[in-house]
C-alpha cells in the first residue's frame, strides 16, 4: 500500500492493519490444502487486544493486563530473567532524553537478543542515531518491524524532558 503526501494518517492506519492482520495466506500456505481453513485468522487472534493511537496492537498493554503471557522458552518451565534497570540516553539534541526500560524488554526478551551483538552493555557506549534506527539498526532492529512504529511514537522513547526541552505532545 502506498501513502500519498497529505493523507498519511488514514492510509498508514490501513496499511498497519493490512500488514498485521490481513496477511495473504496464499503467500506462505499451500492453498490446495483443505485443512487451511481450520487455522485461526490473524484478525480473529488479535481482535481482543488493546490498540495504540495508530490502531496497531499495543503489546505492552496486552502483556501488563495479562491478556497474553509469553513463555520464556518452548517448554515454558523457566521464568524470564527480568532486569529492572532504566538507562537514560542523552544524545538527543532538541528532543527529550530517551529512557530505555530494561524491564519492559526483559519481560519477554532474553539478554542475548541485545547483548552484545546489538548493544554493548555499558551506558553511553553505543553510537545510536535516528538515521540508524530508521535503517533497521540498534533499536530499529525491532522497532518499526515487530515493536511499535518509530515515526508515529517519538514520545514513547523520548519520554524524559530536560532543561528547556519540554514534552510537546
Ligand atoms: C524506539 C525508540 C525511539 C523512538 C520511537 C524515537 N527515537 Fe529518537 N532516538 C532514540 C535513541 C536511542 C537515540 C540516541 C540517543 C543516544 O544515543 O543518547 C535517539 C536520538 C534522537 C535524536 C538525536 C540524534 C539524531 O539522530 O539526530 C533526535 C533529533 C531524535 N532522536 C528525534 C526523534 C524523533 C523526531 C522521533 C519521532 C519521529 C524519534 N526520535 C523517535 C530512540 C527513539
Ligand atoms: C532490547 C534490548 C536489550 C535487552 C533484551 C537487554 N538489554 Fe541491557 N542494555 C540495552 C541498552 C540499549 C543499553 C544501554 C546502552 C547505551 O547506553 O548505549 C543496555 C545497558 C545494559 C547495561 C549497562 C548499564 C550501565 O549503567 O552501564 C547492563 C549491565 C545490561 N544492559 C545488562 C542486561 C541484562 C543482564 C539483560 C538481560 C536480563 C539485558 N541487559 C537485556 C539493551 C538491552
Ligand atoms: C530485540 C528487540 C528490541 C530492541 C533491539 C529494542 N526494543 Fe524496545 N521493545 C521491543 C518490544 C518487543 C517491545 C514491546 C512491544 C511494543 O511495545 O510494541 C518494546 C517496547 C519498548 C518500549 C515501550 C515500553 C513500555 O513499557 O511501554 C520502549 C520505550 C522501547 N521499547 C524503547 C526502546 C529503545 C529506546 C531501544 C533502543 C535503545 C529499543 N527499545 C530496542 C523490542 C526491542
Over the stretch 99-157, which tens digit does the pLDDT of each residue have? 999 999 999 999 999 999 999 999 999 999 999 999 999 999 999 988 999 988 999 99
Q: Write out pLDDT tens, residues 66-77.
A: 999 998 888 888
29 in helix, strand or coil? coil
**Which pLDDT value is given to residue 50?**
95
Side-chain half-sphere CA neighbours of 85 within 13 A:
9
Higher pLDDT, 1 or 110: 110
Q: How far is CA 77 from the centre of its chain?
A: 25
Distance CA 3, CA 136 (A): 20
- For ligand 1, whether the C-beta of 7 sits within 6 Å is no
What DSSP line would sit under 60-73, residue for residue? HHHHHTTS----SS
- Rounded Cα distance between 88 and 157, Å, is 10
**Choice from 111, 127, 133 to test ligand 2 binding pocket (greatest atom count within 8 A of CB):** 111
Among 84, 97, 99, 102, residue to substitute to test ligand 2 (most atoms within 8 Å of Cβ): 102
Cell of 163: 532543561
Domains delineated in the chain: 77-169 (3.90.10.10)
Distance from the alpha carbon of residue 130 to the mean position of ligand 1, in angstroms: 5
Ligand 3 atom closest to Cα of 100? 35
| Lowest model confidence (mean pLDDT) among 18-22, 66-70, 79-83 | 18-22
Query: Which pLDDT score, from 0 to 100, does residue 5 have?
Result: 43
Q: Which atom of ligand 1 is nearest to the CA of 139?
A: 1
Query: How confident is the prediction for the chain on average, in pLDDT?
Result: 86
Residue 3 has pLDDT above 50, yes or no: no
Task: Quickly count: other Cβ atoms within 10 Å of residue 59's Cβ.
Answer: 19
The yes-or-no verdict on residue 22 having pLDDT over 80 is no
Amino acid at each position: 500500500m502506498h501513502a500519498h503526501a497529505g493523507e498519511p494518517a488514514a492510509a498508514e492506519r490501513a496499511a498497519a492493519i493490512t500488514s498485521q492482520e490481513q496477511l495473504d495466506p496464499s503467500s506462505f500456505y499451500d492453498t490446495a490444502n483443505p485443512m487451511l481453513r481450520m487455522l485461526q485468522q490473524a484478525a480473529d487472534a488479535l481482535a481482543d487486544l488493546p490498540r495504540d493511537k495508530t490502531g496497531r496492537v499495543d503489546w505492552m498493554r496486552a502483556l501488563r493486563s495479562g491478556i497474553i503471557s509469553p513463555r520464556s522458552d518452548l517448554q515454558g518451565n523457566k521464568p524470564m530473567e527480568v532486569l529492572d534497570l532504566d538507562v537514560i540516553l542523552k544524545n538527543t539534541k532538541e528532543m527529550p532524553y530517551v529512557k530505555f526500560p530494561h524491564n519492559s524488554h526483559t519481560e519477554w526478551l532474553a539478554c542475548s537478543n541485545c547483548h552484545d551483538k546489538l548493544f554493548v552493555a555499558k551506558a553511553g557506549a553505543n553510537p545510536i542515531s535516528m538515521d540508524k534506527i530508521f535503517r533497521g539498526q540498534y533499536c530499529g532492529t525491532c522497532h518499526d518491524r515487530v515493536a511499535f512504529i518509530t515515526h508515529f511514537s517519538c514520545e514513547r522513547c523520548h519520554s524524559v524532558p530536560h532543561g528547556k526541552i519540554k514534552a510537546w505532545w
